[in-house]
Amino acid sequence: MRDVRTITDSECNQQAGAAAAGPSLRGTGAPPGTLTAVPHADHTSNESFPGPPRPMRVTPVPLAELARLLDAGTTGALQDGSAGSADAPSATGITHDSRAVRPGDIYAALPGARLHGADFVAQAQSLGAVAVLTDPGGTERAAATGLPVLTVPDPRGRMGELAAAVYSEPGEDLLQIGITGTSGKTTTAYLVDGGLRKAAEKQADGGALTGLIGTVESRIGDERIKSERTTPEATDLQALFAVMRERGVRSVAMEVSSHALVLGRVDGCVFDIAVFNNLSPEHLDFHPDMEDYFQAKRQLFTPARSRAGVVNFDDEYGYRLIGELKEEGFPVTSFSAEGHPDADWRAENVELGPLGSTFTAVGPDGERVPAVAPLSGPFNVANALAALTALVAAGIDASTAAEGIRTVPGVPGRLERVDAGQDYLAIVDYAHKPDAVESVLYAVRKVTEGRVHAVLGCGGDRDPHKRPAMGSGLARLADTAVLTSDNPRSEDPLAILATMLAGAAEVPAYERGTVLVEEDRAAAVAAAVARAEPGDAVLVLGKGHEQGQDIAGVVRPFDDKDVLREAIRERTRREARIAREAREAEETPQAREAREDLEAPHPPRPSAAETPHRTDNQNR
C-alpha cells in the first residue's frame, strides 16, 4: 500500500502525566439523550457535584462586604441589622445554574427570554444557597424564600466581578493570554499552550502547570474537562481560575468569543495579552452586522479587559484595530504571516508542507527565529506566528516559544487525520464558515495528488445567511461536494439543505464538481468514501471535535472521526467480499473442490506423545 500523507495526527487526544507545580511565568511567584455533547472517555473530573469544577479551599466572604462591592440594594438578613454579627451570612461560591448550587453559594437569578432565574430560587435554597443576586424584576420572588437578596439593575453585568471577589481574584495569580477572532482561536490557543509548557519546563525546578480554556476542552495541567461552550460563564470561569491556582497552574491560554464579551462572561478578567486573529462573517444571527461584530471583539482591547494587544496586520479589521489602538496609546504588537515589512513580527521563507509548514519569524529588532507551524495550510502559519508573537509579548524568549509551538502534536478536530489503512487521505475539520471551508479545501489540495471529496452541512438555528456561500464554496472547490446535515436543531434539515443547494446551483456548471445531497450525515460520509481512489482526499467538515448531533432538540452520539473510520473499514470489507466472490465465480469445479478441501476443518494430527511406540520387530 502506498504511503498516505498526513495532515495532523491525533496524539493530542492522549493524556500525559501531570507535571509538578512551580513558580509563576510572570517571575513573581450512548442511547439518545439531551446533553449538549457526549464527553470523551478521558475527559475526567473528581467533582461529586454537578457542573464545572470548584476550588476545594475558599475563604468565606461576608455577604455584607459583597453587597458593598456591588453597591447593591439588600433585603433579609443584610437589612435587619445582623450583617455585622458573628453569625452574619458569608458566601463560599456562586453559580447562575440553580441545579449546580452548592452549600454556601450565591445564586445568580438572571432574567431570561422566557423564564426568570428567580423562578428557581426555591430549588437553589434547597441545595444550600445562602443568598440571591438578581434584578428588580426578581427581587420579590427571591425575597419570598427568606434568603438575603442582592439587587442590582444588571446582575449579569456584575456576576463576573462578584465571582472574582468570592474566589479572591484568582486571575491575578495567572498569566492570562486571551485569543479572539472568527477563525483560528482554538488552534492558536493550543499553540500558545505549547509555548507556555515549554517555558514552564525550563524553569529551574521543572516548571509550573499550564491551563487551557476553549471550544474543545479545558485543561488543568493534563486533566481534561469537557467544554460546554467556547468561553465559560463568568461564575464558572472564575471558579476554574481558582481551581487552576489551587493546583499550581501559573499561566492560561483561553479562547474569548464575541458572545463572551457581549454577555459579560469574561467580566472580572484582565488579560495580560489579548490576541486578534481575524474577522469574517459569522454569528450574524447574534450580531446585526459586521460593525457590531467588530465592536464586540474590540471590547477585549481596552484597559478594562487587557494590558496589551497582539493583532493580525494582514486582516482588514486587524489593520483597522492596530491603527485605533495606536491612536489611543494602547500597547499593541502586530504580526504578518504574509511578511509585510511594517509589521512588528513577520514570517519569511515560508515552506508549506503536508505535515505542517516551516518559516522564519523576524522580529522588530531583526531577530530571526526558525519556526514551525505543526499543522498544514497557510492559515496555520498565521496561527503559529500569532502564538509566537503573543508569547514574546508576554515575556517568553522567542526561541523557547518557537520550540514549544513546534512540539504541539495537533489540535482535536482541526485538520485531524483518520487512518484506517486506506490509500487515500481522510480528514476531519471543524471548518463551519465560508472562509474557513475555502481555506481548508485550498490547504488540502496542495497536498493531494488526486481528487477531493468533501462533506459539509450547516447548523440549524444559527446564522442562515452563510448557507448559500457554504454550498457554493464547496461545489466550486471540491471535486465531489456532498451536502448533508450538521446540527439541524429545531429546523427542518431539508430546508437547510435546499438553501445550501441553491448556493451550489449558482456556481456555473463548468466550475463546479459533482454535487450530491444526502440528509443522513453518516450516509453522506459513506458516499464520499465510496468515491475515493488512491491519492484522493476525503474531508468531513463542520463538526470537528464534537461528540453529538442535535436533531429536533435531542443530541445523539455522533463523532465524525468514528463515522469516517467505520465508513472506510466497511468499504474495505465490502471490496474484499466482492473480490472473493468474483474469484470464486471464476473457479473451475476442480479448483473449487481443491480450495474447499483445503479450507475444510481437519482433525488434529496426534502429537508425538500420543503416537504408539513401535519396536523394530513390530515394524517388520
48-76 in b/e burial notation, b at 16+ Cβ within 10 A? Answer: eeebbbbbeebeebebbebbeebebebbb
Q: Give the rounded distance of the alpha carbon of 83 from its chain centre.
A: 44
Distance from C-alpha of 25 to C-alpha of 298, rounded to nearest angstrom: 27
Q: Is 183 annotated as a binding residue?
A: yes
Q: Is 92 annotated as a binding residue?
A: no
Q: Is 572 annotated as a binding residue?
A: no
User: Do 283 and 463 touch, CB atoms closer than 8 A?
Assistant: yes
Q: Is 499 annotated as a binding residue?
A: no
Q: Is 268 annotated as a binding residue?
A: no
Query: How many other CB atoms are found less than 10 A from the CB of residue 358?
Result: 16
Q: Is 151 annotated as a binding residue?
A: no
All three cell numbers of 210 = 499550564
Q: Is 462 annotated as a binding residue?
A: yes
All three cell numbers of 115 = 423564564
> 3-state class of 52 per DSSP?
coil
Nearest partner of 519 among 559, 491, 546, 538, judged by Cα: 491
Q: Is 210 annotated as a binding residue?
A: no
Q: Give the rounded distance of the alpha carbon of 24 from its chain centre.
A: 26
What type of residue is 101? V
Q: Is 231 annotated as a binding residue?
A: yes
Please tell me the total number of residues recorded for the chain in this structure: 620
User: Do 410 and 12 touch, CB atoms closer than 8 A?
Assistant: yes
For residue 176, the surrounding DSSP H or E stretch is strand 175-180
Q: Is 486 annotated as a binding residue?
A: yes
Q: Is 230 annotated as a binding residue?
A: yes
Q: Is 187 annotated as a binding residue?
A: yes
Distance from C-alpha of 100 to C-alpha of 71, rounded to nearest angstrom: 26
Q: Is 181 annotated as a binding residue?
A: yes
137-149 in b/e burial notation, b at 16+ Cβ within 10 A? Answer: ebbebbbebebbb
Q: Is 334 annotated as a binding residue?
A: no
Q: Is 489 annotated as a binding residue?
A: yes
Who's near 13: CB < 8 A, 6+ residues apart? Answer: 40, 42, 412
Q: Is 546 annotated as a binding residue?
A: yes
Distance from C-alpha of 534 to C-alpha of 474, rounded to nearest angstrom: 21
Q: Is 182 annotated as a binding residue?
A: yes
**Binding site as annotated, residues for ATP:** 181-187
**Binding site as annotated, residues for meso-2,6-diaminopimelate:** 462, 486-489, 542, 546
**Binding site as annotated, residues:** 98, 181-187, 230-231, 257, 265, 462, 486-489, 542, 546
